[in-house]
Structure formats: structure tokens, C-alpha cells
Homo-oligomer: A and B are copies of this chain.
Amino acid sequence: MRRNPERRRALIDGAIEVLAREGARGLTFRAVDKEAAVPPGTASNYFANRDDLFTQVGGRIYERLLPDEATMARSREGTQDQNRYAELMHELVDRVSAFNTGYLALLELRLEATRRPELRAVLTERIREDIDANIAHHAASGLPGDKTSVLLLYLALNWLIVERLTLPDIFTEQEIHDLVDEAVRRSLGA
């Protein structure tokens, strides 16, 4: 197995684009080599098999979706009230939507997970960790609401992003904005 980490990352990033564009069935070593503009046969030196490629793609998407340090630092500034919560959720929705191929690839992975038990296990663990981290982050933040608020926002905002990325004419940008505000407000369950 080859070990150049930059090359590996470039291959996985290429795989994300292939997944979003062609779907899970289109994700072949050959397509990844082509997308990453590397010699044919390169991907097969970096991944044991397609299962391995799928699971590494899952981890990488989450890595790229995480906020950077500056964003995290900014999120801790200012009054931690409902308006601040809404602001953070707008930022989150926009950040995730901006990496649209990553989010679409993640949906492809979820569907593929119904066919691949190993991928299902890896995604379950990764997403459960992410949810728990969100709950812990919220509890430490001083933001209003409770664990249920975090879970309800997780649910509503994920589908809002699905809607925006797959059928962008269902809701206008203004409706999306208002729905985020209301999702925050009502999830607090005053």
C-alpha cells in the first residue's frame, strides 16, 4: 500500500467529486485516477478495495465539513443567546451547502451503506460521534436550549440542505433563511 499522504488525500478528494457526479456505482479506481489526473493504476495502490475507498471517503468528507479553528473561536465570542444560535446555524447551513459535492457524496454513501455493512458501521460510528460532539459543544457553550434542541436542529437542517442541494426550487433563499431562524427559535422549546 502506498503511503504518500498528499497523494492519498488528492485521490480521496477526487473520489468525492466522482461520487457526487456519477453516484456510487460510478466510483471506480479508474474514475478516481482520471479525476485526480494521476497515472492509471494509482488508486489501486492506495486502497485495498472499493470498500476501503468508500470508508475513507466518508471520513474525509467529515474532516472537510468541520469548521476551522477561526470559525470555532468566533463561535465562542459574543452573547450566547438565541440570535447568536441562529447566526451559527446560518453559517453551518451555508458552510455545508458550499461543499455541495461533499454533501451529495455523503448521501450517496448513506445509500451505499444499505448495501455495505462495513461502510454502514463506519458511517454510524462517525455520525454518532459527530452528534455527541455537537451535544457536548452546545452544553459547554452557554447557548439556550438542551440536548433535544440540538437533535431537532440536526434533523431539520440536514433535510433543509438536502432540499437546497437536490431540488433548489422548492424553497427560496429567503424561505430557507426564515426556516433556519424558526427552527432555532422553536427547537429551544421555551
Contacts and interface: CB of A to CB of B under 8 A. Distances in A.
Interface string A47-65: 0000000000000000000
A81 interface: no
B166 A113 contact: yes
A28 B113 CA distance: 22
B189 A185 contact: yes
B160 A155 contact: yes
Interface in A104-156: 104, 107-108, 110-115, 120, 123-124, 127-128, 131, 148-149, 151-152, 154-156
A182 interface: yes
Given A23-B23, A186-B186, A179 B151 contact: yes
Interface string A1-31: 0000000000000000000111111100000
B104 A114 contact: yes
Interface of A: 20-26, 104, 107-108, 110-115, 120, 123-124, 127-128, 131, 148-149, 151-152, 154-160, 162-163, 165-167, 169-170, 179, 182-183, 185-190
